[in-house]
Each structure stands twice: as structure tokens, then as C-alpha cells.
Chains A and B, each alone.
Chain A
Amino acid sequence: MTAPTDFATLLQRLLSSHVEFILIGGVAGNVHGSARATYDIDVLYRRTSDNLARLVEALGPLEPYLRGAPPGLPFTFDVDTLRRGLNFTLTTSSGDIDLLGEVTGGGMYDDLLTASEEVPLFGRSCRCATLEALIRMKRAAGRPKDFEALAELEALREERRRQ
């Protein structure tokens, strides 16, 4: 049995290691109030050398591996690997996480920073894309499979405005 993603553990590890990241995707939508299920965490991380080292410190002990890849590939989760790639779809001992250096409709970490906000999670402050930014990213992606999710995010925005 594949263990379900432990959102709290993954986020707490990133926050404890002071990784600079912005929570995006379905988990970010849930943090804002979405009711759609999602099974992995998407984070937009900053691609500075120091931050890559912090990412390795945070997630290395969870033995990240390429999700869906056959076992036994010479994949090492270290700074060099992160520097040579950009977006990584990983599975760890605490579940699935997507590390994104850049995202459609959001750009890179520094681009999205102004469209993010601090959200209190687990006694810490976690940077999360704003609901508006999540909608923009979904619209920019333009995938038919996202239509339902996009409709829900826009309905959520309306509900928040009514409150």
C-alpha cells in the first residue's frame, strides 16, 4: 500500500529548514477553502544555491525519488541535481511532492512573491499563493481537466467576497 501524502510532515520539514517556497496547486487551494481532494503538494521554490541546499536538508532524509520512474535509477537528491533540473515530480517516504522552479502563469519564485501571502500553519508562517494567483495559474494552464477546479476556485473567490 502506498502511504498517503503527509502534508503536515512535508510542510513542517520545509518550514523548519527555512526553505524559501510558495505553496501552490491543490493544497494551496485547500488552505484558501477549496473542498477538492488533492494527493500531492506543489511548491514553487527559489533557485538560489543556499535555498537548494536547504531543500536538500529538508527533504533529503525522506529519500526523494522520481515519481513513476522504475526503481534503481542513479537519482541522487542533491544540490547538483536540483541545479541541473527545474521541475521535479518526486515521491518520498512522507508522500508525493512536486518541486517546481517555474510554473505556467506564475513564473518563478520571485515573480510570484508579490502574489503570495503568509498563512499561519503549524505554528509557523507559510507563504501561499493568493487565491487570485491560483486562478490566474489555472487559467494560464488552460487544461480542460482543470475546468472544474477553476470553477470552484472562482466560486470560492465569490463566497469570500460575500463574507
Chain B
Amino acid sequence: MKLRVGLARRLSPSRHDSHEWVIFTGGTLALMVPEPVALDPDPVIEAYKRDVDRTLLRENLKLSPEERLLKLQDFVRFAANLREAGRLARG
């Protein structure tokens, strides 16, 4: 495949791909890996972080992954029951 110098053809049509194959002049195939999303502190997120209740996180970290999932399940069932009770109360 002949391509002009400096041009590359994208073979992956997906806009969400974390990488894409490109063909450079001369038919060289290369894997282009974009820089990962930076995890440097973000001032907006840092501001939100001040309101996080860390006691909840510390309690969760004492549990096993399965216990954490079952705890979420209990809450989701409770919320569903509460919604249903509210619906019935409204008639």
C-alpha cells in the first residue's frame, strides 16, 4: 500500500478504541497506543473528595468482596421496598 509521507491510515473505525493500527509509508504496520488518561490530582475532583464519607469506605474495606456485594444487594432491595411503599402511600 502506498501512502504519502506523513499520512497514516486508520484501520480501526472505533472512536473508543484504546489503540489503533496504522500503516505508514512503505507498508509498515504499527500499533499506536495513546497516552493513558492522566491520574494526576484534578482540582475539581479534589474539591469533591472533601465530602466523601471515608468511614463508610473503611468499614467496607473490612469486608470481603462477596460481603460488599451482598451489602449492596441488601440496600438495593431496601430501596425497592421503599419505592413501592411510597407508591402505595400515594395511591
Contacts and interface: CB of A to CB of B under 8 A. Distances in A.
A69 to B, nearest CB: 21
SS class, residues of chain B in contact with chain A: helix
Interface string A11-49: 100000000000000010011111101110000000000
A106 B17 CA distance: 8
Given A104-B16, A147-B45, A35 B65 contact: no
B65 A155 contact: no
A39 B37 CA distance: 27
Given A35-B57, A136-B39, 6 more contacts: A35-B56, A35-B60, A102-B14, A121-B69, A135-B39, A156-B61
Interface string B60-81: 1101111011111101110110
Contact of B16 (A35, A39, A103): A103
Contacts of A132: 39
A2 B77 CA distance: 11
Interface of B: 14, 16-19, 36-39, 42, 44-46, 48-49, 51-54, 56-58, 60-61, 63-66, 68-73, 75-77, 79-80, 83-84, 87
B81 to A, nearest CB: 9
Given A121-B66, A155-B57, A37 B48 contact: no
A73 interface: no
Contacts of A61: none
A159 B17 contact: no
B70 A8 contact: yes
B49 A154 contact: yes
A148 B69 CA distance: 20
Nearest to A37: B75
A102 B17 contact: yes
A3 B75 CA distance: 13
A1 B65 contact: no
